[in-house]
Amino acid sequence: MSDHAATAVRTTIKSIVVNACLAGVKIGAGIIGHSYALIADGIESLNDIVASLVVLFSLKVSSKPADDDHPYGHGKAEQLGALFSSLSLLAAGGAIAYQSTQNLFHRRHSPAWFTLPVLLVVIVTKEILSRYALKKSDETSSSALKGDAWHHRSDAITSAAAFLGISVALVGGSGYEKADDIAALIGCLVIGFNGITLLKSAIHENMDGAPPSEFLLETRRVASTVPEVLYVEKLRMKKSGLGYFMDVHVQVDPEMTVEVGHRVAHEVADAIRAAMPQVNDVVTHIEPFYPPETFRN
């Protein structure tokens, strides 16, 4: 397992432990304190645990080396984990929205005051965990881990909405009991927005979509630094797991020998991998370079 994969796995395990503790606290406090927004928040944390377990599994599978059946490795498991994470986030938002809507017509009790300090602890903890996971996802280029981080951020936001709703219900008194459920619905909108954003990103990577343009431009620049390369004609790249597979077409002197061309191809691949560690493999195609004037009448 690579260092990046090991970092992503450790981060995910920490997320599972924290979410398990928070889910128990939130659901228990929500039941005792008559707050469905808090119970919904706890259910969302349970969903986060399931999502984190899938992310953990996908990271372990994606780190397996290539074999005869998977010559490009098992990296796509990580993208599938990101896809599941986004879909589970949307499913959790839909379930909470349904139950909150039902509760709007059956609310009988205002939430208890002690649910507020519980929510404050949850908000701070989940935001810290989200920032930590986002930092590690950037370091490892893990889409699945980024999805996990947004699960934490969504949890913090829904907890903040629950805090506001419970505060309104407690301050307003009789007639404001439903503020708790309205807050849960607002939180569901946030969950839905984040879920759709993550889903678009996961589908893009599962469909072998191109990486960010800045990454492509930097790759072209690095390939151009090899002295014999006269022009970078084509560059195709797809993400698999925590890294990228790349095809690059470079143009060289048409009089160059096969032996020298072979050396240049290796130098291009070595330069790209040295400058950009997230690139797993580079296939370099050597083509003849002809100045534009050659084709003029």
According to the model, what pLDDT value does residue 297 have? 46
pLDDT tens digits, one per residue of 212-263? 888 889 999 999 999 999 999 899 988 887 788 999 999 999 999 999 999 9
Q: How far apart are CA 22 and CA 61, in angstroms?
A: 28
Across the chain, mean pLDDT equals 81
Read off the pLDDT of each residue in 265-289 and give the average, rounded to a whole number.
91
- Alpha helical stretches, state H, the chain: 3-32, 36-62, 76-103, 115-140, 143-172, 179-206, 213-224, 258-275
66, 72 contact by CB (below 8 A):
yes
According to the model, what pLDDT value does residue 295 have? 47
141, 278 contact by CB (below 8 A):
yes
Higher pLDDT, 37 or 190: 190
Residue type, 271: A
Two structure tokens written together for 189: 């909108």
**pLDDT beyond 60 at 279:** yes
**pLDDT beyond 90 at 158:** no
According to the model, what pLDDT value does residue 224 have? 93
The half-sphere exposure of 183 on its side-chain side, counting CA atoms within 13 A, is 28
DSSP H or E segment with residue 235 = strand 231-240
Report how far apart, in Å, the C-alpha atoms of 146 and of each of 32, 132, 227 are.
34, 10, 38
Read off the pLDDT of each residue in 51-80 and give the average, rounded to a whole number.
81
Q: How far apart are CA 140 and CA 134, in angstroms?
A: 10
**pLDDT beyond 80 at 70:** yes
**pLDDT beyond 90 at 129:** no
Burial 190-213 (b: 16+ CB within 10 A, else e): bbbebbeebbebbeebeeeeebee
pLDDT tens digits, one per residue of 20-44? 888 888 888 888 877 766 776 777 6
Structural domains of the chain ordered from first start: 3-206 (1.20.1510.10), 213-295 (3.30.70.1350)
According to the model, what pLDDT value does residue 37 have? 65
According to the model, what pLDDT value does residue 221 have? 93
Report how far apart, in Å, the C-alpha atoms of 172 and of each of 110, 168, 175, 182 are.
10, 6, 7, 14
Read off the pLDDT of each residue in 193-207 and give the average, rounded to a whole number.
84
**pLDDT beyond 60 at 108:** no
Q: What is the pTM assigned to this prediction?
A: 0.66
9, 148 contact by CB (below 8 A):
no
According to the model, what pLDDT value does residue 282 have? 93
Closest CA to 14 of 181, 160, 130: 130
Q: How far apart are CA 101 and CA 35, in angstroms?
A: 14
According to the model, what pLDDT value does residue 109 have? 62
Query: How large a percentage of the chain has pLDDT more than 70?
Result: 91
Map residue 247 onto helix, strand or coil.
strand
Pairing of strands 243-252, 231-240: antiparallel
130, 149 contact by CB (below 8 A):
yes
The half-sphere exposure of 90 on its side-chain side, counting CA atoms within 13 A, is 12
Closest CA to 48 of 126, 114, 110: 126
